[in-house]
Amino acid sequence: MTAERETLRSIDLTRIGEGRYKATNARGGVLPVGSGSDPDFTPVELLLTAIAGCSAIDVDLITGKRAQPTSFEVHAEGDKIRDDQGNRMTNLRVTFDLVFPDGEGGDAARDVLQRAIEQSRDRLCTVSRTVAVASPVEMEKK
């Protein structure tokens, strides 16, 4: 396997109905995607989910070494706008609401929480880092 293949991540998207699609990953996981007229996640909601999920994993791994949270909630939001640059999201924000148990481990987790969030934002989370550094997206017909 080449170094390029070791870094490659991919999904396949198949139309399953009008305005509805099925995303499938290489491990066989399936996720319905919709246009917003049904309960399926829209692509914008998936972007917010990906940002929140990626950062949540980072923060959980760092804080979880000290103590397991008794509550772990993450909220992601942003404004979908249309301007001279086209349709896009602005004002992206991820808010963490974590509760740790009383005691030494919980104190240690609380002490590293803000730094863990900052590390995820500034270095660790592949999804938010890709958005922040504005990686170009190529689209082509096969």
Please tell me the CATH superfamily of domain 42-134, with its number: K homology (KH) domain (3.30.300.20)
What is this structure's pTM?
Answer: 0.90
Which three-class secondary structure state does DSSP give residue 98?
strand
Can you give the residue ranges of every domain in the chain? 1-41, 42-134
| Closest of 35, 43, 36 to residue 11, by C-alpha | 43
pLDDT digits (tens, 9 = 90+) for 80-122: 999 999 999 999 999 999 999 999 999 999 999 999 999 999 9
How far is CA 34 from each of CA 16, 112, 116, 118, rounded to the nearest angstrom? 10, 38, 33, 32
What is the chain's mean pLDDT, rounded? 95
